[in-house]
Amino acid sequence: CSEFLQRLVTLKCDHDGKTVGNAIFPNDPNNQADRFGNRCRSTLRDLVDDFKKTLKELNQLLKTDAPEKAFEISKILACLKLIKARAMVYFDAKEMLGKLDGVLGVDSWKSVSIASTPAKAAARGAEYEPASWGQIAERVRKWVVEHFKPQPDMMVKIKISSDRVQFFQLIGRKAAAAESLVKLEEVLGSDGDVGAVLKGDYQAKVTGALSTVWAELNKHVDALKNEQIDPAKFSDDAYSNKQDNDFQQTKARFDEVNRLYGAVSLYKEHIAGSMQGNDAEAMDLDTLSDVLLQRVVNMADKVEKLGTDLDGVSGMLMCMHSQAEELLFQAADCKKVVASALEKFQSAEATKAMGISKLAVKLRHARMRPAGEAVVRGYDAFQGYLTQVFNQKTQSQDINYVLQNIKLDANQFNSSTAGSNYAEFDKEYKQRVDELLTGGLTETQLVSMIKNIVAGLHISHAPGCVMWTVDMKRAMPKLVALVFAVWTLHHSKRFLKAMDSTDKKAFLFMPHPVQVVAIFALLGMDSTREGLERSLVQVRTGEGKSAVLGVTASVFALFQCRVYCACYSEYLSQRDGASMEFLFKALGILEDVKYMTLSQVCEYEVNKQVNIREELEALITGSGGGGGAANVKSSGPRKPRVLLVDEVDVFFSKDFYGSAYVPACALRHSSISDLIREIYKTGIPLTMATVKTWTTYSNVTSVLKGWDFLVDAAVEELLQCMETFAEDVIENEYIVKDDKIGYKEQDSIAFNISYGYTTLLAYLKENQKGNISEHSLARNLKFNVRCGSFSYAKLPRDFDLVMGVTGTLETMSEEERRIVKEEYDIKKLVYMPSVYGHNQVQTRRITAARNKDEFVKTLVEEIETHRKNRAAIVFFDSSMELRDFSKQPQFEHGNDASYLLEEIYPEEKDQIVKIRAAQIDAITLATKPFGRGTDFQCMDDTVQQHGGIHIIQTFVAETLSEEIQIKGRTARQGEKGSWSMVLMQSEVTERYGIPGPELDGILSGGESDESRKALWGLLNKKRLEVCETELQEMVKEVVLNAKVHEAALKFTESLMKGDVDPIKKHLEAQIRSAAAGPGMQGKARIMVLLDATGSMGRMMDAAKDTVGLMFDRAGEIIKEHLGDATEQFEMQFAVYRNYSSGPGKLLEASAWKSDPAALRQFLGSTKCSGGQGNEAVEIAFWHANQEQDVKQIVIIADAMGNTPAEVEQKRRGIGERQFAGTRFEVKTTVDKELALLKEKKIPVDAFHLVANSNLKRYYDQITEATGGTNQYLNVQKPEGRELFIGHITTAILQHVGGEGKGADLVGAYMRKFGGGKMHS
């Protein structure tokens, strides 16, 4: 048949015989022969497609970027066998197709054989086009030799813990694959290198590498075990810890032990299970650890024998603590030994009279620093001494200093009242402390005195308000003094017994006047009138905010209020709550004081009357519940509820104010799990109609009888997520850890965050790769039912009283102050002076580099200049930027620097923060979440003498308060420090719209103070403008969220009553607003394409902030003129970057949605990153061509698209293999994709964000070709955002109304809201 067909085609092509040719392949579509020709071509195309799919699978199997999906030898072998068997037919078929296309004419192949979906489209062709089977085999041979010939280097230094884990996972996969490697011989042959590798023993190489590590580890351990430390050397006046070569060499040896111990541990965890004859069992790490611990125990015995030889004792303690600092695997055990040695020193008869303070002074002597300082700061035994130092350092900032420097916003501070209140407090506090010291008063008696005062006030709160009488205020100084006495006693118990009575008071942990007056301000003590005014108080970072909040919360709780202390950070919230728990327990108020994050407070509020998730799940599954009085929580008589907010400025960030809290009910059942698994296994394309024919679907609807609409909505949304979920993504947005999937949040990984079915698909994917257990997967195979949206902005209004403490109150904008005063009725803003007086941070440099090379050069120079005899900490906007800089050849300290990222292990974070970051000559690269709340500890007086820690900021902070927080990582508690900022000019010009000539004019001033101040002033001015604009948009969002917030509250009431009909209506409304997906005819589909490279952060925020307003306005107009706004339109956001971001981040897209909350969630989870000159506009247009029924495209960009040559160059730069087997393996160009859009008659509108003539001309040409328009957009200005909102909204209205009513709807919008644009 093939020969016959070939002869026929050749006859037509060679002789152009019209009569004969038309007889064989006539053009008449009704002619059977013509259909026969097309059928032949279609069959050959299917054959080519199948071969290419197998080739694509092979390409993917050869990728080793992620160790979890690499080295599947059995699958590689199956692909190779199939490819080899079909190779000849494939090459013949390709040749035949070329001839048939010449005869029949070229048609739209994709519509003949492949469905129009991204996944199937990618299967049509592969970038890798081999000319023969031999080329394919040779490629696999090289792959085998590359990965299995070398012995793995387990001694390699990898600084970042998460990277180390991945490295050993990769070796584990290779070791597991090694047994099957020889099977490849039958298809690859056994010649040359590949034969030796196939027959060689990779596992033996792994074992050899491990043996090297084990031997080296034991060598270091033996050296440490046999090390002799002579205490006498520490008594030499010439001794210097910094110059002690033996001490420094031992620290270096600890570092090696830590690394090698970790290597063996990771081998056991990730490789040993794949090895034949597991040698790892003989490598007893526990015994080795015991040997090292015994070293510390032996030194502790020496300490005890040294007695009053403080030099010797200090030296031995330094050596012991050094091991505790460096060896992370036994740090806790080492510290226990050191702490025990210190307790013995305090209690021994020979040293008891000497006191711990004399030892502390010796340890802090210049000869012993920095190791001695680390000992003093590391153990409770020295807490009293450190308290004495603190008291001495701050004693000059007495009550008179506080009263003279305290400030109020608008109101006059009554210093006379505050002074008399403090005098009364001070008298009572000192009296009770004296009694505590002499044994005349116990904690029990103190608490009894407190409760007697409260009982005598006869407090009785009226519903909805807080009783605050003059008598309560009069009792306050004495009450606060007694509470602080309990606080002091607790913090002093550990060391008071070891102190001489004459010394004790100096060592007490006492409140500073700044803290006391701040508490009085919150409690309304500056006024003698009845009542309590809502207040915000500024207490600077690191100056006792925790105590201020804790004692204030205690007073409110004693006065029969329920108190919620809310913070943005879970880590800080847990830390502060734990530090004050002793006080709440002692006062009997533990149940009335809760420390939570803002999200947790919202969660608590939502569920305060009924657990809506559990109740809804029980109602839907029929497992109980159903509302009614029996299910409503009862907590007795209602107490007034007080909200104390820590770091109020964070509340006004885009993560909270203007956003909504969206709880979801999880529906779990074995039938649901079975259905999800079948959907995932089947893959796309898959329709709802097909799923409904399955038995697994029927099983679910039988279990959830009467709730079919929820099942259908869940399946639809899962299918949509599968369409946009990138299986080929390189996972850097989520973290797989401890059998869970987490997301970066502030300075840690949060495992309670979920992005709906996207997270579920990630669990399925990681389970397939072996990273998630079946047990963990089963817990996450669930349907999600959105319960509603609760506005964060409404949260404070539900409390009877709102107070707050922050370190950056001065930076609040006028609009934020207005909101605080008008919406939350917080009238009093108080600014406390610093406990330490004037802050000593020095600004060294602010500059902007013209390009990346200059940026790297300038940043390296800045690091080198300021790390010498000091320590440099560099903050980056993201981990991607941090990693990119660390790999630059100009930065020669990649192996020496510390890396502070969200994904590293907690013990490693602590080691960097408390030990490494502030060491002399240290370099630390950190991401910006660590710029808030992280207390870097400097132990070395040399660092302080040379200017302290130097902070380098490589990005413009979004708010002034964020910048102040980053600066606050240095010059803490009265110490020295400095700060500089090294930026890229592109960030400044693109992010803030600053014209290049204006920036050049400022930078021409060089490093002068005037130039530095001018640049910072300009940046801050633009930043404030942007922040004001964003806040105005958030205010609009608050108004919009109010409607859905009220609906969510009504839903909660219905749930409490068990009223099923309103519940179903609410859930159906939630589904209608989120409804989307293919096949929904008649909807207006608007696609917004967003450049998501590093310079586009403000635009991404603008889109997130305004999408709700677009939907609300469009819905309002549609409802007024068409009667029903539901299911009339939907939108998709697709973000694109450049090839340097890799296939996983090159393009991301939301599902098609009619729900702004879902789109906001997508935009909120999308990070702007990367950038490489011209951007991948061609990929954005390619994506648009894959989607169905798109009516309008709007592209927003600050760069042109790649030229065809740039596409080739940039893909080669990252490696073409990165794209093989992904949806982007076929190259494309802007012109090609634009021609398809033009053919489909889809108009493209453009917004260019940089006022550049070339950029304008480029997008003019694109929009003119498709019948769209191009405009300049400045989203930093209110009118720019209004233009953006109006343009998208009128596009929706134009397409909803169509030719008949579109113009009327747009006109109605313009009359009501102004702006917008007429869309043809």
What's the pLDDT tens digit per position in 41-63?
Answer: 777 888 888 888 888 888 878 87
Q: % helix / strand / coil in the chain, to the nearest 5?
A: 60, 10, 30
**pLDDT value for 391:** 77
The per-residue pLDDT of the chain, averaged, comes to: 85
* Helix (H), strand (E) at residue 434: helix 415-438
pLDDT band at 1033 (very low <50, low <70, confident <90, very high): confident
Pairing of strands 407-408, 828-831: antiparallel
State yes or no: pLDDT of 1126 exceeds 60.
no
**pLDDT value for 629:** 47
Kindly report the three-state secondary structure assignment for every residue of 909-977.
Answer: HHHHHHHHCCCCCEEEEEEHHHHCCCCCCCCCHHHHHCCCEEEEECCCCCCHHHHHHHHCCCCHHHCEE
**pLDDT value for 120:** 37
- The dihedral region occupied by 1058, where left means phi > 0, alpha psi between -120 and 50, and beta the remainder, is left
Taken in order 1147, 1174, 1199, 1190, the sign of the CA dihedral is negative
Q: What angle do CA 1155, 1156, 1162 make, to 5 degrees?
A: 105
**Dihedral (Cα; 677, 681, 685, 686), 10-degree rounding:** -40
Is residue 688 within 8 A of residue 715, CB to CB? The reply is yes
Is residue 1092 within 8 A of residue 1103, CB to CB? The reply is no
Extract the tokens encoding 784: 């999600």
Extract the tokens encoding 1311: 């009359």
pLDDT band at 98 (very low <50, low <70, confident <90, very high): confident
**How much of the chain, in percent, has pLDDT values that exceed 70?**
89
1007: exposed, middle or buried (C-beta count within 10 Å: 0-12, 13-18, 19+)?
Answer: exposed
**pLDDT value for 700:** 95
pLDDT tens sequence across 579-609: 999 999 999 999 999 999 888 898 888 888 8
In whole angstroms, give the CA distance from residue 1315 to residue 1301.
Answer: 19
Which residue matches tokens 């806040």?
Answer: 1031
State yes or no: pLDDT of 500 exceeds 60.
no
Q: Which of 52-66, 233-247, 1028-1042 has the highest mean pLDDT?
A: 233-247
Pairing of strands 783-786, 949-953: unpaired
Q: Please list, in sequence order, all residues whose beta carbon lies within 8 angstroms of the beta carbon of residue 641, skipping any fewer than 6 positions away.
A: 561, 562, 563, 564, 798, 799, 800, 801
**pLDDT value for 635:** 53
**pLDDT value for 114:** 33
Kindly report the three-state secondary structure assignment for every residue of 193-251.
Answer: HHHHHHHCCHHHHHHHHHHHHHHHHHHHHHHHHCCCCCHHHHHCCCCCHHHCHHHHHHH
**pLDDT value for 954:** 97
Higher pLDDT, 13 or 97: 97
Phi then psi dihedrals of residue 501, to 5 deg:
-60, -30
Give the 3-state secondary structure of residue 121: helix
State the pTM of this model.
0.76
Which DSSP string do the residues of 10-21 spell out, in sequence order? HHHHHH--HHHH
> Amino acid identity of 216?
E
In whole angstroms, give the CA distance from residue 938 to residue 612.
Answer: 48
pLDDT band at 1144 (very low <50, low <70, confident <90, very high): confident
- The dihedral region occupied by 870, where left means phi > 0, alpha psi between -120 and 50, and beta the remainder, is beta
Nearest to 1159 by CA among 1116, 1108, 1085: 1108
**pLDDT value for 6:** 59
In whole angstroms, give the CA distance from residue 547 to residue 522.
Answer: 13
pLDDT tens sequence across 258-290: 999 999 999 998 898 888 776 777 899 999 999
What separation in angstroms does the CA of 926 have from each of 118, 187, 221, 938, 953? 37, 49, 32, 17, 10
pLDDT tens sequence across 288-340: 999 999 999 999 999 999 999 999 999 999 999 999 999 999 999 999 999 99
- Average pLDDT on 1224-1245 reads 92
Number of Cβ within 10 Å of residue 19's Cβ equals 6
Extract the tokens encoding 169: 């996972």
Nearest to 1011 by CA among 1021, 1001, 1023: 1001
Check residue 794 and report its DSSP letter.
Answer: T
Distance of CA 1187 to the CA centre of its chain: 30
Pairing of strands 641-646, 593-597: unpaired
Angle of the 443-455 helix axis to the 570-587 helix axis, nearest 10: 90
Where does 509-569 have alpha helices with state H? 513-522, 545-558
Nearest to 802 by CA among 826, 782, 784: 826
In whole angstroms, give the CA distance from residue 507 to residue 360.
Answer: 13
Check residue 1201 and report its DSSP letter.
Answer: B
> Amino acid identity of 389?
V
* Helix (H), strand (E) at residue 1090: strand 1084-1091
In whole angstroms, give the CA distance from residue 724 to residue 1134.
Answer: 10
**pLDDT value for 1038:** 86
Question: Which residues on neighbouring strands pair with residue 1185, listed in sequence order?
Answer: none
pLDDT tens sequence across 153-189: 999 888 888 888 888 988 988 888 888 888 898 898 8
**pLDDT value for 117:** 36
**pLDDT value for 1073:** 55
What separation in angstroms does the CA of 655 have from each of 598, 1104, 1159? 10, 11, 15
**pLDDT value for 437:** 83
Phi then psi dihedrals of residue 1194, to 5 deg:
-125, 120
Angle of the 331-347 helix axis to the 371-378 helix axis, nearest 10: 80
Number of Cβ within 10 Å of residue 444's Cβ equals 9
Taken in order 180, 183, 187, 191, the sign of the CA dihedral is positive
State yes or no: pLDDT of 222 exceeds 90.
yes
Check residue 634 and report its DSSP letter.
Answer: -
**pLDDT value for 1320:** 32
Higher pLDDT, 211 or 723: 211
Extract the tokens encoding 284: 């007893």
